[in-house]
Structure 1
Amino acid sequence: MASVDISPTLNFLTDAGHLLATTAPEISAFLMIQRNNLMFENELPPPSDFQRQHVCTCCGHIMILGHGSSLTIKPKHAAARRKNHRSAQHRRVKETREATPSSGPTKQFACGPCGRLTEIKLPAPSRISRRKAKTQKAAQATGATTGTAPTTSAAPVAPSSLAQSANASSKKRAKSRKAGLQALLEQKNASRSGFGLSLSDFMQK
């Protein structure tokens, strides 16, 4: 019942604090601190990650990027990579981390007035499955060793199409040969006709 009774007060403090965030940041921070204290006294759940990255839990300042507050993205295991990664101890730690579910990068908010750092851990990205690619490579290697034809090979040419192309080429050659012989015959007949006389005719006369 206590949480229901104080809900209007919490809503009022939240709205008033956000309205005064830019015009009167000190009063806004005081109202948000009173809101946090009221929630703590009534044993309400602590602020969520979304609220923690929005309002500083130390001074109550509403963190607005570019207005005194800043955001930094810290990559995962950045400090561990700077150490000697060739040591056996580091390899064991790495294997343990890979075996257990781990978190992703971390968002770090720096409050401008008080300088408090608020860290929000992000979920780890999903892993890329390479099992399918390995299976395909293994299948290709097996096909190469057994001598089976790959599935992407071109289809064989039908024998009938080869025979048709051969017949067409032979017919073309026969036509060209016949045309050449006919041209030679016509040229010979034309030379014979001339004026109807030849060298032998003049010698006889």
Structure 2
Amino acid sequence: KEMLFICENGTIVFEKGTCIYVNEIERSKLYQVLDIVRNIEGVYPIFCGVNSAYIEDDHPLLVKNAGMYYHRLKRVAYLEEVIGVDRICKVALYDTIGAAQNAYLKCKKLSGFFSIVTSGKEWVDIANPLVSKGKVVHYLKERYGLSPQDCYAFGDYHNDIEMLQEVYHSVAVANAHEDVAAVCRFHTLSNEEEGVMHYLKQAFHLKM
């Protein structure tokens, strides 16, 4: 309750337990997304809302991986059930074939209406146009009077690039995508080696 959280690629922001910003996807557009992604082999959609994340399939890999990222995860018969019930701000696609060569390419037809970005080897994120973590970081810098030198950001995949470009202390973990590593000034250990904590301990001389 003492922290500020930028969630779902900058579409939701919580400050001290209160939701202060929501960038909701228009309801009619959610149906459009479902019409396309349900016809892509190996792809499973997740609706990401303010109150919870939602899945409609019980594929074990989907359940396992979605459970890693969403503390609140509900399974429903059809995702259409939650349209208008929760404010859906992002559609995450879990791709068992490979996001870059499968879901991302087949969803590019939506790029005129959505922001579409890979967020991992198996993940594609769909949100409103111009949405990014970087946009919200820029807003928060202005809100709190922070300079780029005041801010640290850590990233590993394409959905982190705009955020990393907003700060001076841009840090790529060792297992980051090469595009992410290229825009960062600094580097640290991999995710599996707790690279973020390692870097923060060194930067702030913390003993934990």
* TM-score, length-scaled by structure 1: 0.18
Q: Which has the higher helix share?
A: 1
Please identify the structure whose Cα radius of gyration is greater.
Answer: 1
TM-score (norm 2): 0.18
Q: Which has the higher strand share?
A: 2
